[in-house]
Amino acid sequence: MLGLMDSNYDPQQIEAKWQARWEAEKLFESEADPSRQKYYVLEMLPYPSGDIHMGHVRNYAIGDALARYQRMKGYNVLHPIGWDAFGLPAENAAIKSQRHPSEFTFSYIARMREQLKRLGISYDWRREVATCVPEYYRWNQWFFIKMYERGLAYRKRSRVNWCPQCETVLANEQVVDGCCWRHEETPVIERELEQWFLKITAYAERLLDDMKELVRWPERVLTMQRNWIGKSLGTEIDFSVEALGERVRVFTTRVDTIYGCTAVFLAPDHPLVEKLIVRSPWPEKLRAEAERIRASVVRARVEVNLEKQGADTGFKARNPYNGEEVPIWLANFVLMEYGTGAVMAVPAHDQRDFEFCRAYGLPVRTVIVPKDSAGPAGGRAGGGAAAANAASPALAAAFTEYGRLVESGPYSGLVSEEAIARMTRDAEQKGFGKGTVQYRLKDWGISRQRYWGTPIPIIYCPADGIVPVPEADLPVLLPSNVTLTGKGQSPLALVPEFVHTSCPKCGGAARRETDTMDTFVDSSWYFYRYTDPKISTAPINRDAVRYWFPVDQYIGGIEHAILHLIYMRFFTKVMQDIGLVDFSEPVNRLFTQGMVIHGGAKMSKSKGNVVDPVEMCAKYGADTVRLYMLFAAPPEKDLEWSDAGIEGGWRFLNRVYRLVAKQAKRLQGVEVGEVSRADLAPEERRLLRKVHQTLRHVSEDMEERWHFNTDIAMAMELVNELSDLEPAAEAGRIRASVLKDALSRLVLILSLFAPHLADEMWEALGNPASTLETSWPAHDAALAAVEELELPVQVNGKVRARIQVAVEALEDEVRRRALDAVARHLNGRNVAKIIIVPKKLVNIVVK
RNA sequence: GCGGGGGUGGCGGAACUGGUAGACGCAAGGGACUUAAAAUCCCUUGGACCGCAAGGUCCGUGAGGGUUCGAUUCCCUCCCUCCGCACCA
Report the C-alpha gap between A443 and A201 in whole angstroms. Answer: 6
What Å value separates CA A321 and C1' B81? 49
What Å value separates CA A441 and C1' B42? 64
* A8 contact to strand B (CB, 7 A limit): no
Provide the total of helices (H) and of strands (E) in chain A, helices listed first: 28, 34
Dihedrals φ, ψ of A566, to 5°? Answer: -95, -35
Q: Which domains does chain A have, with CATH numbers?
A: 153-198 (no CATH), 232-363+418-438 (3.90.740.10), 642-783 (1.10.730.10), 788-846 (3.10.20.590)
In chain A, which residues from 26 to 85 place their CB closer than 7 Å to nucleic acid strand B? none
| Residue A799: nearest nucleotide (C-alpha to C1') | B20
Chain B bases having any atom below 7 Å from a protein CB: 3-5, 11-16, 19-21, 23-27, 39-42, 56-58, 69-71, 83-89
Query: Helix-strand-coil percent breakdown of chain A, rounded to 5?
Result: 45, 20, 35
Q: Indicate the DSSP class of residue A632.
A: S
Report the C-alpha gap between A646 and A622 in whole angstroms. Answer: 11
Q: Is the dihedral of CA A539, A542, A548, A552 positive or negative?
A: positive
**Which protein residue's Cα is closest to nucleotide B27 at C1'?**
A644
* A802 contact to strand B (CB, 7 A limit): yes
Report the C-alpha gap between A527 and A540 in whole angstroms. Answer: 10
**Could you count the other beta carbons within 10 Å of the beta carbon of residue A101?**
27
What Å value separates CA A716 and C1' B42? 18
What Å value separates CA A404 and C1' B77? 29
Closest-CA residue to A699 (of A810, A777, A781, A602): A777
Dihedrals φ, ψ of A549, to 5°? Answer: -90, 155
> What pLDDT was estimated at residue A24?
97
What Å value separates CA A682 and C1' B18? 35
Q: Is the dihedral of CA A693, A697, A703, A709 positive or negative?
A: negative
Q: Outline where DSSP puts E strands in A281-423.
A: 310-318, 325-331, 342-345, 368-369, 404-405
pLDDT tens-digit series, residues A620-663: 999 999 999 999 999 999 898 999 999 999 999 999 999 999 99
* CB neighbour list of residue A560: distance below 8 Å, 6 or more residues apart: A44
Q: How buried is residue A520: exposed, middle or buried, by Cβ count under 10 Å (0-12/13-18/19+)?
A: buried
What Å value separates CA A845 and C1' B69? 6
Beta partners for A410? none
What Å value separates CA A697 and C1' B16? 10
3-state secondary structure of A307: coil
Report the C-alpha gap between A141 and A471 in whole angstroms. Answer: 9
| Contact (Cβ atoms closer than 8 angstroms) between residue A195 and residue A156 | yes
pLDDT tens-digit series, residues A661-718: 999 888 988 888 777 777 889 999 999 999 999 999 999 999 989 999 999 999 999 9
3-state secondary structure of A297: helix
DSSP A581-630: -S-S-SEEEEEEEPPEEETTEE--GGGT----HHHHHHHH-HHHHHHHHH
* A696 contact to strand B (CB, 7 A limit): no
| Residue A232: nearest nucleotide (C-alpha to C1') | B88
The three-state (H, E, C) secondary structure of A71-113, written as one string: HHCCCEEECCCEECCCCHHHHHHHHHHCCCHHHHHHHHHHHHH
> What pLDDT was estimated at residue A474?
92
Report the C-alpha gap between A587 and A516 in whole angstroms. Answer: 28
* A676 contact to strand B (CB, 7 A limit): no
Q: Which long-range contacts (CB under 8 A, 24 or more apart) does A722-731 make?
A: A722/A659, A722/A687, A722/A746, A723/A655, A723/A659, A725/A683, A725/A686, A725/A687, A726/A659, A728/A683, A729/A663
Report, as ranges of residue numbers, the positions in chain A whose pLDDT lies below 50. Answer: 1, 375-393
| Contact (Cβ atoms closer than 8 angstroms) between residue A161 and residue A168 | no
Closest-CA residue to A761 (of A736, A744, A739, A742): A744
What Å value separates CA A825 and C1' B71? 23
Which strand (E) or helix (H) includes residue A265? Answer: strand A263-266
Please report, to the nearest 10 degrees, the dihedral formed by the alpha carbons of residues A707, A709, A711, A716 taken in order: -170
> What pLDDT was estimated at residue A300?
56
- At position A284, the amino acid (one-letter code) is E
* CB neighbour list of residue A10: distance below 8 Å, 6 or more residues apart: none
* CB neighbour list of residue A352: distance below 8 Å, 6 or more residues apart: A308, A333
Q: Which long-range contacts (CB under 8 A, 24 or more apart) does A295-299 make?
A: A296/A332, A297/A267, A297/A268, A297/A269, A297/A332, A297/A333, A297/A335, A298/A189, A298/A190
| Contact (Cβ atoms closer than 8 angstroms) between residue A846 and residue A829 | yes
| Contact (Cβ atoms closer than 8 angstroms) between residue A119 and residue A626 | yes
How much of chain A, in percent, has pLDDT values that exceed 70? 95
In chain A, which residues from 143 to 202 place their CB closer than 7 Å to nucleic acid strand B? 173
Distances, alpha carbon A115 to alpha carbons A108, A109, A128, A350, A730, in Å:
10, 10, 15, 57, 42
What Å value separates CA A388 and C1' B77? 31
* A798 contact to strand B (CB, 7 A limit): yes
Q: Give one word for A796, left, alpha or beta, with left for phi > 0 and alpha for psi -120 to 50.
A: left
Distances, alpha carbon A327 to alpha carbons A311, A318, A363, in Å:
10, 9, 11
What Å value separates CA A711 and C1' B33? 33
What Å value separates CA A308 and C1' B86? 16
Report the C-alpha gap between A586 and A740 in whole angstroms. Answer: 44
> What pLDDT was estimated at residue A228?
87
| Contact (Cβ atoms closer than 8 angstroms) between residue A399 and residue A348 | yes
What Å value separates CA A220 and C1' B5? 8
| Contact (Cβ atoms closer than 8 angstroms) between residue A564 and residue A571 | no
What Å value separates CA A324 and C1' B13? 66
Distance of CA A82 to the CA centre of its chain: 19
| Residue A252: nearest nucleotide (C-alpha to C1') | B89
DSSP A667-716: HTT-------GGG--HHHHHHHHHHHHHHHHHHHHHHTT--HHHHHHHHH
| Residue A631: nearest nucleotide (C-alpha to C1') | B25
Closest-CA residue to A534 (of A143, A80, A126): A126
What Å value separates CA A784 and C1' B70? 28
**Could you count the other beta carbons within 10 Å of the beta carbon of residue A63?**
25
Distances, alpha carbon A14 to alpha carbons A53, A123, A293, A402, A758, in Å:
23, 19, 69, 69, 10
* A807 contact to strand B (CB, 7 A limit): no
What Å value separates CA A720 and C1' B11? 22
**Which protein residue's Cα is closest to nucleotide B14 at C1'?**
A710
| Cis amide leading into A550 (omega within 30) | yes
* A639 contact to strand B (CB, 7 A limit): yes
**Could you count the other beta carbons within 10 Å of the beta carbon of residue A108?**
21
* A651 contact to strand B (CB, 7 A limit): yes
What Å value separates CA A652 and C1' B12? 16
| Residue A340: nearest nucleotide (C-alpha to C1') | B89
Distances, alpha carbon A10 to alpha carbons A18, A611, A620, A634, A759, in Å:
12, 22, 9, 28, 14
What Å value separates CA A55 and C1' B12? 17
Report the C-alpha gap between A742 and A73 in whole angstroms. Answer: 19
Please report, to the nearest 10 degrees, the dihedral formed by the alpha carbons of residues A200, A202, A207, A209 taken in order: 170
| Residue A352: nearest nucleotide (C-alpha to C1') | B87
Distances, alpha carbon A776 to alpha carbons A443, A523, A676, A684, in Å:
48, 34, 20, 22
| Residue A219: nearest nucleotide (C-alpha to C1') | B4
In chain A, which residues from 426 to 485 place their CB closer than 7 Å to nucleic acid strand B? 438, 440
In chain A, which residues from 323 to 382 place their CB closer than 7 Å to nucleic acid strand B? 332-339, 341, 343-344, 350, 352
Distance of CA A639 to the CA centre of its chain: 18
Beta-sheet strand order (sheet of A189-198): A168-170, A153-163, A189-198, A444-445
How many alpha carbons fall within 13 Å on the CB side of residue A593? 28
Say what the pTM is: 0.92
| Residue A257: nearest nucleotide (C-alpha to C1') | B89
Closest-CA residue to A595 (of A641, A647, A628, A649): A641
| Residue A251: nearest nucleotide (C-alpha to C1') | B89
* CB neighbour list of residue A603: distance below 8 Å, 6 or more residues apart: A53, A54, A55, A596, A597, A609, A610, A611, A641
In chain A, which residues from 217 to 256 place their CB closer than 7 Å to nucleic acid strand B? 219-220, 223-224, 227-228, 230, 232, 234, 251-254
